[in-house]
Chain A
């Protein structure tokens, strides 16, 4: 009964390849996020969707393309992977509105290693 689940947990791939990370939440939340965490643990927002609509799109290379087929899913596709894409990618969800709108529920992360 995992709240926010993302797959795969680990991904090792060669430079230039294309890969996807999937995320699903069963919390009934209407907002989902992708974060990138580097080796120094800095958390950087990449994208956010509210009710399947893109609301945050930070300065991220257009090799990264999020897709939200429905409110419970937000997938991340990365084209032409580069060494600098190596990081842990976290999916998160939240409920917009309400008293705790900053409370994000995170998945366990997907560690991407580009060789």
Chain B
């Protein structure tokens, strides 16, 4: 549905600290989850994904955690850098479905 009236959540983090961005997903049948990063003036870019048969997946400086019991997804960014400033989106889908369901996005601001 439409997210009318909602504001873009913002998270401010000190440079060098770890960041945790949270996402509550809606469809209990979703079995594939993705995090995207959108820098200013650009399109969203894939960061990391996770399937429902896992609860944790690590990439380079990023970790995604999945809690299916409470339908919660999080993205952890270690040692946050200025280049991490962006809007981060979670997205979910069912394997059999073409369509991604997108979260509202969280703006990450890095304080020097």
Residues of A at the B interface (CB closer than 8 Å) are 4, 31, 40-45, 48, 50, 55-56, 90, 92, 96, 100-109
Contact = CB atoms under 8 A, between A and B. Distances in A.
B87 A102 contact: no
Contacts of A105: 46
Contacts, number: 67
Interface of B: 3, 6-8, 32-34, 36, 38, 41-46, 49, 87, 89, 91, 93, 95, 98-100, 102, 104-105, 107
B105 A102 contact: no
A102 B42 contact: no
Contacts of B3: 40, 42
Contact of A90 (B34, B43, B91, B104): B43
A103 B98 CA distance: 11
